[in-house]
Amino acid sequence: MKIDPVVFTIGPLEVRWYGIAMAGALLFGIWYLVTRGKSKGLNQDHLVVMSLLVMIFGILGARLMYIAANHPNWFWEEPVRILKTYEGGLAWHGGLIGGVLSAYLYLRYRAKISFNQVADLCVPAIALGYFLIRLANIPNVENIGRMTSFYFGRWPAQLIAAGINLALLLRHFVISKKNLPDGHLFWSFLFYHQVLRAGVEETIREMPLVYQLYVNNSLGIGFLTLVQVTTLPVLLFIGWILWYYIRKENPNK
């Protein structure tokens, strides 16, 4: 059954499931961050400003990286289409880079607040956002799974990806009760997210392969996509932060 990607229209304006998912995740993220930050004695104004910067530069980075990797011709042939984020088309790594850099620079040089302390409070919003976006990919017919010889035909890649982030969200709330150093929740979330995305989600998604290491059309799996190629250096970087930098900042934890 095909789901209409447009929920309703107001004149020429189309309100889509994708846009609702993005807006819902952003609003929840700001609310959660400010509420939890207040309980930890953090300045609410700084948290709100940081959230807005992350929203702007996260979406900008995600959109630009998606277009650069998939439709570079849009930059000179259809530049207006770059602004149509509600139609879908965001790259996780681009959003992560844009959001993390803007937050780090603002918190370090303007707010004078520990980035790692604030980053831990952002995990629920990131996990929920990815969960909702993957569900919104269904009506947009994006990020579809590979065909298989199993009875269900095509892998439900969007639902599997959504399930991965739901599991990571539950993991976050379980381990957040432990006495962990600042930053552990955030960077460990990214670590396991990258492992599961590259190992599961990308393997069953209908994505072009930059190098055909292994393909099994019967099982509906394939290696290596661009994300899988870039995952190892990303994991090494996150691992260094987790096991060296964070421990160095928090020697008593």
pLDDT (tens digit per residue) in 78-96: 778 777 776 667 777 788 8
Above 60 in pLDDT, residue 253? no
Tell whether residue 134 is among the known ligand binding residues.
yes
Per 3-state DSSP, what percentage of the chain is helix, strand, and coil (rounded to 5)? Answer: 70, 10, 25
Above 80 in pLDDT, residue 251? no
The pLDDT tens digits of the residues spanning 99-134 come to 889 999 999 999 999 899 999 999 998 899 889 989
Q: What is the pLDDT of residue 46?
A: 93
What are the DSSP E strand ranges found in the chain? 6-10, 13-16, 214-216, 221-223
| Residue 160 near residue 203, CB atoms below 8 Å | no
Q: What is the pLDDT of residue 92?
A: 72
**Exposure class string for 187-219: b at 16+ Cβ within 10 A, else e:** bbbbbbbbebbbebbbbbbebeeeeeeeeeeee
215 compared with 140, residue with greater pLDDT = 215
